[in-house]
Amino acid sequence: MAAHLSYGRVNLNVLREAVRRELREFLDKCAGSKAIVWDEYLTGPFGLIAQYSLLKEHEVEKMFTLKGSRLPAADVKNIIFVVRPRLELMDIIAENVLSEDRRGPARDFHILFVPRRSLLCEQRLKDLGVLGSFIHREEYSLDLIPFDGDLLSMESEGAFKECYLESDQTSLYHAAKGLMTLQALYGTIPQIFGKGECARVRNGRRVPPDPMFCFQQVANMMIRMKREFTGSQNSIFPVFDNLLLLDRNVDLLTPLATQLTYEGLIDEIYGIQNSYVKLPPEKFAPKKQGDGGKDLPTEAKKLQLNSAEELYAEIRDKNFNAVGSVLSKKAKVISAAFEERHNAKTVGEIKQFVSQLPHMQAARGSLANHTSIAELIKDVTTSEDFFDKLTVEQEFMSGIDTDKVNSYIEDCIAQKHPLIKVLRLVCLQSVCNSGLKQKVLDYYKREILQTYGYEHILTLYNLEKAGLLKPQTGGRNTYPTVRKTLRLWMDDVNEQNPTDISYVYSGYAPLSVRLAQLLSRPGWRSIEEVLRILPGPHFEERQPLPTGLQKKPGRWRYRICHRHH
């Protein structure tokens, strides 16, 4: 059992175990030895719910990554393809199956679609002549994945692009299904609040929002599924009081700004994937005297980051400027603990010290790792360029010089800094100015295309289509009203002992967090004007609870918090 999933207010091990049980049941249908062929994208999410030990218990002997041509040799009875419902993957699977048929002896093939079966994919397999080769064709509902005691994720990186660029609303259905699973395990959520839309695109242009394609649709789907569901969730006393659904386009600013917490900076600089990070190995090499720095490791250091690690749980959400003092105090505590061995005189005292030794050694190893990570991050955050970029971001977010061409962005383009860095800054300026003046937007576009290549015309077009980069219409900048009403910018921020969420960006309070805070107290009626300015409708739905399960006044309120990554 993953103990860290039960540390929060809600025991998410219940969800993890339900997902694992479904996987075990499918594996047991395929009697005999097995080889799993993985869609590489799914290996990370599956690793969070089913380690190899669980698969091995159910006769999984080999695992391969899905690739073209022939599969590696494996003396097994069953070959199971675990894939997303993508047409291009069906072509590879067909190639694998046909090559195995020619190789002999006969194998039993199975396919597990994650998270849904697809008639289009099955038709493609039929057209390629291999659909009949599969004994089991099933789906595995891996919608919400428990990452930590307070974090669930769909790991659907392309959801925003699918909704806003491709008019594909499938991710909304998956969100509704995942939330239904949550209610089946933890009870009906009495109140659902939401804000935002998923605007449709027709003939390559944006059209007015349709209420049927907004996040209210997720709530509507949940309510309809609840009526159709015949399980036992109605007999479970509800754990959650409220559900808040926010469309990403309600708060485009937050993901564009540079994160300044310890975990946020690790993600900004190195990228956290499925709770793992890969780091430069030099800082983690054991120091040996007289080796002159020779034979340094070349393979990246891979570390898992979650609240199962005591030190990481303590520092992950701290502003990076507050991390150094915590590591220093922890080093003194650990050093003092090891010094206690000199005071152990009796057999009982020595035995007690030895029993604590594994935990102390783990704590020392953890401290060494995070000290090395902090040093790597500090090398970046103390650079002049990082300071200049952060200064420009904070000027934009506080409403300074958002309506004209920025000299730092000009310099970044001229020096051909990474395009993603330039685009984030330009989009941030656009969001903080409710769109750019046409001449400013045209200037940025021209400079980007001349420097980075005209193939990025499509990139700029897609950013405009998604609302991240746009001309200012109507000549009115509404961001100052939103900023002041929601207190998105705080001048006095205590990074060491914070009392406000603005510490995570050293001044900027994430808009989505402010909306959640105001919904909790005093309610959204106090910010009706701002809600009308922000994209999309806002709504409230109530789900009736069966008699006997209504909450009593003053009962403890549970909530799952979503970390910003």
Answer with the residue of higher pLDDT: 359 or 421. 421
Single out the residue in 118, 147, 176 at which a domain terminates. Answer: 147
8 A C-beta contact, residue 555 and residue 5: no
Q: What is the pLDDT, as a whole number, of residue 345?
A: 73
The answer to whether 233 and 184 are in contact (CB under 8 A) is yes
Per-residue tokens: 375: 């040093």
d(CA 531, CA 190): 23
Query: Are 26 and 127 found together in one domain?
Result: yes
Q: Mean per-residue pLDDT for 67-82?
A: 91
Burial class (CB in 10 A: 0-12, 13-18, 19+), 328: exposed
322: domain range?
Answer: 262-285+298-383
Same domain, 24 and 119: yes
Residue with token string 């991240």: 468
Q: Assess if residue 560 is contained within a domain.
A: no
Contact 440, 434 (CB under 8 A): no
Tell me which amino acid residue 336 is.
A
Residue 17 forms part of a structural domain: yes
The candidate with the shortest Cα–Cα distance to 36, out of 21, 15, 19, 54, is: 54
Q: Does residue 37 sit in helix, strand or coil?
A: strand
* Per-residue tokens: 110: 């199975």
**Model pLDDT, residue 290:** 52
61 within some domain:
yes
Bond from prior residue into 105 cis (ω within 30 degrees of 0): yes
Answer with the residue of higher pLDDT: 378 or 229: 378
Q: Give residue 25's pLDDT.
A: 96
Mean pLDDT of 488-510: 96
Residue 254 domain-assigned (yes or no) = no
In single-letter form, the type of residue at position 410 comes to E
CATH number of the structural domain spanning residue 420: 1.25.40.850
**Same domain (yes/no): 418, 350:** no
CATH of the domain at 366: 3.90.830.10
Residues 136 and 12 in one domain: yes
Percentage of the residues of the chain whose pLDDT score is greater than 90? 67
Question: Which pLDDT does position 201 carry in this prediction?
Answer: 30
User: What is d(CA 216, CA 228) in angstroms, rounded to the nearest whole number?
Assistant: 19
Pairing of strands 191-195, 538-542: antiparallel
User: How many domains does the chain fold into?
Assistant: 5
Residue 396 lies in a domain: no
Judged by DSSP in three states, 318 sits in coil
**21-28: long-range pairs with CB below 8 Å, 24+:** 22/140, 22/141, 23/49, 23/50, 23/54, 23/140, 24/54, 24/58, 26/112, 26/136, 26/138, 26/140, 27/55, 27/58, 27/59, 27/60, 27/80, 28/58
Cα separation, 22 vs 529, in Å, equals: 46
| Domain-embedded: residue 460 | yes
- 349 and 271 in a common domain: yes
The letter for the amino acid at 465 is: K
Of 147, 165, 181, the domain-final residue: 147
Instruction: Assess contact for 247 and 512: CB atoms under 8 A.
Output: no
101 compared with 522, residue with greater pLDDT: 522
Is residue 547 situated within a structural domain? no
Q: Are residues 167 and 215 in the same domain?
A: yes
Q: What contacts 11, CB < 8 A, 6 or more positions away?
A: 5
pLDDT computed for residue 199 by the predictor:
30
CA distance 111 to 93: 9
Residues 163, 140 share a domain:
no
d(CA 167, CA 179): 22
Backbone angles phi, psi at 9, to 5 degrees: -70, -25
Indicate whether 124 and 179 sit together in one domain.
no
What are the pLDDT digits (tens) for 243-290?
999 999 999 999 999 999 999 999 999 999 999 999 999 888 776 655
Q: Is the pLDDT of residue 496 over 90?
A: yes
Both 517 and 410 in a single domain? no
One domain, residues 461 and 489 = no
Average pLDDT over residues 206-231: 59
Give the end of a domain, one of 105, 125, 147. 147
Burial profile 193-218: b = 16 or more Cβ within 10 angstroms, e = fewer: bbbbbbbbeeeeeeeebeeebbbbbb
Q: Which residues contact 431 (CB under 8 A, 6 or more apart)?
A: 252, 253, 256, 468, 479
* Backbone φ/ψ region at 122: left (φ over 0), alpha (ψ -120 to 50), beta: alpha
Same domain, 408 and 365: no
Q: Is the pLDDT of residue 391 over 60?
A: yes
CA dihedral 266, 165, 399, 407 (to 10 degrees): 80
pLDDT at site 559: 37
Q: Indicate whether 345 belongs to any domain.
A: yes
Q: Which pTM value belongs to this model?
A: 0.88
Give the per-residue pLDDT at 216.
67
Task: Calculate the dihedral angle through the C-alpha atoms of 289, 295, 298, 304, rounding to the nearest 10 degrees.
Answer: -30
Q: What CATH number is attached to the domain comprising 187?
A: 3.40.50.1910
101, 133: one domain: yes
Q: What is the pLDDT of residues 324-364, one digit of tens each?
A: 999 999 999 999 888 877 777 788 878 887 888 888 899 99
User: What's the gap between Cα 167 and its chain centre?
Assistant: 22
Q: What is the pLDDT of residues 428-447, one digit of tens each?
A: 999 999 999 999 999 999 99
Give the span between the Cα atoms of 66 and 88, in whole angstroms: 12
